[in-house]
Structure 1
């Protein structure tokens, strides 16, 4: 059996080199080699590398075997065996050499051990290399496993978050229904106050805005069921929005008192008197969110929050600037990520991510400037609405133009059924109400009913089943479903059989008029309201 071997021979005797080569050839080795004897040549040979074995004379001119060993250990990390050879058999010298790292010690007087030692060292080297490769592969596998586990943990966290959102979404549907019923009563009361001549109109306006915003927040619960909620964009007076938000958030920032006893101050700086394309309610909500974030950041040291706007090449920049502690680079890099929070258990990690998502849905972008100790500036860039693009004021037909209709209101909440009946009557319609849908059959068998206005969630009979019943009793009777689930149903494209139109609660007089226009158009070319 012939073994190819590439040897570096460090030797100053040509005769000894010839003796090594004859012995190895005799023992079956096919040898290629390089011979060096000077220190400079030795360094070059070590840099060349690729040696299977190094044979080094114990006594060399100009360099000691210890220096050769040191250089060898650095260059080859002991992955190439180095065997010392000597014409003098000295047991102590052999022990010392091997103690300092030499693979073996061979006497030139007896080369019978040369080939067996080389074979043994080659095997050991191969085993060591295999072990190192296995360890490297194991290390790589461990790293991949750690990354996989980290990825799995992230996926698990996301799944938990998704499950949490799903559960919250299911809870939200019930909350939306109950909350919208409460808002319905508040809205009806405000409209009743508004109709009085001596009503304080500014206070009424603020109350209506707050009710509309609360209703919009509830409508956003439908986002649990939709991946891309559509934005109802219109041209918004951003300066008016900033004034409203400052007023609405006053209870929060006035009560944010730092350790020194000073409270946070909110000011409106320079403004550009601009309009932007946005959903006004969502815009108020995200600016409110930013003010609350700034207040939370200034719990220890009170400061100032400045709201301002300026033009920016087809966009309007809305700036929310605070003098708080600022963000570290790490926090700034991750602050827009969903579920990332620096507030511990008190934070959801959704605030800024929602701000970013809403702004992007308006075709804008969010930029954040912040340095530790230098405060934070959050800039919202929204598309400018030019004056020529502003919509004309909407014109509804007067109440007198609407044909009076006979309406039966069915809602298990007595207050809401009475309120709707009163609103319809104020519009000139003949309205009556029931709180038990099981009584509808008796009424419709004795009276002509043009419209049944029904809730959806009722204990005795659902609005879905009531709609089927109404159409069975009289196919010409319209069914208007007014429900706290309205936005969720519209978002999911869900229209129960027999229902002609769905409107979400709370319902204003304007919505009632729009609904009646859609269901009972005065002229054939009237445009129906989409539900």
Structure 2
């Protein structure tokens, strides 16, 4: 029988020493693991603090990638966003140290990574993927990384509310180089990145919501200002139209009944007449400059060259006399194309638009200089070519040599209430020009640079058919003398209407308000001699024109009632004509329109 060997004291000492060495080694390894874990925890805290200080997604991605490249470290790192509709990843951010390799791998920013039959397909389902040896993975994306000398990869999903919106990819050149602790660290890091990204998205959405709210409030305020402007316009329209009505009536009467006027005097009166028409149209459109083409706007052939000359005359005081009082010389130049085709439009609106542009140009030239008005025929492509297949345009350019505009001002100058003139500006001039161009289906272009002046270009389509004048109805015979009652609360309007109507042979009685007008009419009826025609203003205190017309028609239904108002065309277009009114006339009244209305109404009554 063999006896077991006897262990000497020395042998026992050796066995104990070996055990102690193993314990020390295990402790050292444990310490290393703990230190590594603490380092990763510290790194995670660094990442958390860094991304917590940022509110934009791209900045968050960059700080995470840079930290992983430098301190984990990794040889390649990027973040991709997941597009579920296209089932692909879009490279969104690449590390600075990874850029060269990203170029080689065709993984620069905005590059696509297809997911079908790909090694990251599990990652977009919410699972962390670790490939220890990319050379052994038979899928396109891992093989692409392997061709770039990368051997191991971790793909960590970025999840928000259990939905993957992106992937964090980290790779190294050495195979089997990611420990389980590093994989867990990348998983935790991806959670922090996902949370920070979600918060950044919420912050961005909140900022956008605040911006949308601010813009909405701004738009509401602008609408309130526009509404206030419209209400103010309604309030002052009556006074403005009353003020210019005598001028309009007397000017038209002088031009018609005074053949001995000198050419200079006649020209001045015609300029006054055009200016009055423009004032009336301006008042009528103060609330309308951002609406589409108004139904009441009548289009007629417009001679643009003639219009330009009229505008030069109308604005002469501004660009010549007033400028010279400040020691400024503005040289007005006109370059008018011969044989310019007529366009279809409202001449008063286009004239007003050009007037506004000239005023702006004068204001932009504090040191004076040339101011050019140019007309030409151009193609829709902006060239002066003669290709018949391209539609042609009539263009009017107002070119100044002033201070010019920067890009922001150029983009905003057409906005209502935007002005660079401080207290001197209303911010409505160019907005009204823009409204005019909209109503004419025309275009406005602005070319400007700081210190190089401004060119404002208006482009109007040339009608495909020759422009013809609109037929104007005229009475077959002159209007026979009538007994007319004129009702208005403004003594100057009453006086001018009475004198111009009496010049046409009518017998005119005036009443200085709604109730006096009704009383005068009823008194005439009681005497068996009612007025066959009544002309009444709309806006009067206590008893307005509607009440007057109602009372007149109730007492004598056959009486012709003409209503004067500054909103005449607008009332007709919107169907707001009072039921007891035979015809609505705009203020300031015109003799030819008065005669036309009387003739039409008398013809209808006779029929």
Q: CA deviation at 1:356?
A: 2.8
Q: 2:572 aligns with which of 490, 506, 510?
A: 490
Query: Does residue 143 of structure 1 match 2:172?
Result: no
CA distance in 2: counterparts of 1:341 and 1:244, whole angstroms:
27
The equivalences for 1:264-303 within 5 A come to 264-274=330-340, 275-299=342-366, 301-303=367-369
The equivalences for 1:126-525 within 5 A come to 126-194=187-255, 195-199=257-261, 200-223=265-288, 228-230=293-295, 231-254=297-320, 261-274=327-340, 275-299=342-366, 301-312=367-378, 313-344=391-422, 346-384=424-462, 388-391=466-469, 394=472, 396-397=474-475, 401-435=478-512, 436-439=516-519, 440-446=521-527, 447-521=529-603
Q: CA deviation at 1:183?
A: 0.9
Q: CA deviation at 1:124?
A: 5.5
Q: CA deviation at 1:337?
A: 4.2
Offset from partner CA, 1:373-408 (integer Å, 9 cap, x none): 33222221113368953327846337x532333221
CA distance in 2: counterparts of 1:465 and 1:406, whole angstroms:
21
CA distance in 2: counterparts of 1:262 and 1:352, whole angstroms:
24
Q: 1:416 to 1:290 in 2, by over 3 A?
A: same
Q: CA deviation at 1:444?
A: 2.7
Identify which range, 496-505 or 422-431, moves more after superposition: 422-431
CA distance in 1: counterparts of 2:355 and 2:287, whole angstroms:
20
Q: CA deviation at 1:326?
A: 2.9
SS of the residue corresponding to residue 286 of structure 2 reads helix
Runs of 4+ with deviation above 6 angstroms: 40-43, 522-525
CA distance in 2: counterparts of 1:289 and 1:193, whole angstroms:
29
Equivalent in the alignment of 2:132: 34
CA distance in 1: counterparts of 2:152 and 2:441, whole angstroms:
61
Pairwise CA RMSD: 3.6
Q: CA deviation at 1:33?
A: 6.4
Check the 8 A contact 2:416/2:428 in 1, yes or no. yes
Structure 2 unpaired stretches of 5+? 1-128, 135-144, 158-168, 379-390
Check the 8 A contact 2:132/2:151 in 1, yes or no. no
Check the 8 A contact 1:276/1:316 in 2, yes or no. yes
SS of the residue corresponding to residue 225 of structure 2 reads helix
The equivalences for 1:11-90 within 5 A come to 34=132, 44-45=149-150, 48-50=153-155
Q: CA deviation at 1:368?
A: 2.5
Work out the number of aligned pairs and report it.
Answer: 435
Equivalent in the alignment of 2:10: none
Q: CA deviation at 1:267?
A: 1.2
Q: CA deviation at 1:445?
A: 2.4
Q: CA deviation at 1:307?
A: 0.7
CA distance in 1: counterparts of 2:406 and 2:325, whole angstroms:
22
CA distance in 2: counterparts of 1:156 and 1:273, whole angstroms:
50
Identify which range, 382-391 or 323-332, moves more after superposition: 382-391
Q: CA deviation at 1:242?
A: 0.9
Q: 1:428 to 1:140 in 2, by over 3 A?
A: same
CA distance in 1: counterparts of 2:133 and 2:298, whole angstroms:
85
Offset from partner CA, 1:228-263 (integer Å, 9 cap, x none): 424321111211111111111122222575999432
CA distance in 2: counterparts of 1:50 and 1:126, whole angstroms:
9
Identify which range, 183-192 or 338-347, moves more after superposition: 338-347
Check the 8 A contact 2:329/2:368 in 1, yes or no. yes
CA distance in 1: counterparts of 2:210 and 2:446, whole angstroms:
32
Q: 1:82 to 1:408 in 2, by over 3 A?
A: same
CA distance in 1: counterparts of 2:289 and 2:412, whole angstroms:
23
Equivalent in the alignment of 1:55: none
Q: CA deviation at 1:425?
A: 2.3
Check the 8 A contact 1:81/1:122 in 2, yes or no. no
CA distance in 2: counterparts of 1:140 and 1:281, whole angstroms:
53
Q: 1:401 to 1:135 in 2, by over 3 A?
A: same
CA distance in 2: counterparts of 1:472 and 1:481, whole angstroms:
16
TM-score by length of 2: 0.64
SS of the residue corresponding to residue 390 of structure 1 reads coil
Q: 1:364 to 1:510 in 2, by over 3 A?
A: same
Check the 8 A contact 2:400/2:453 in 1, yes or no. yes
Check the 8 A contact 2:229/2:286 in 1, yes or no. no
SS of the residue corresponding to residue 241 of structure 2 reads helix
Q: 1:246 to 1:51 in 2, by over 3 A?
A: closer
Q: CA deviation at 1:46?
A: 5.7
Q: CA deviation at 1:285?
A: 0.6
Check the 8 A contact 1:438/1:461 in 2, yes or no. no
Q: CA deviation at 1:366?
A: 1.9
Identify which range, 138-147 or 352-361, moves more after superposition: 352-361
Q: 1:501 to 1:392 in 2, by over 3 A?
A: closer
Q: CA deviation at 1:319?
A: 1.4
Check the 8 A contact 1:256/1:264 in 2, yes or no. no
CA distance in 2: counterparts of 1:288 and 1:500, whole angstroms:
36
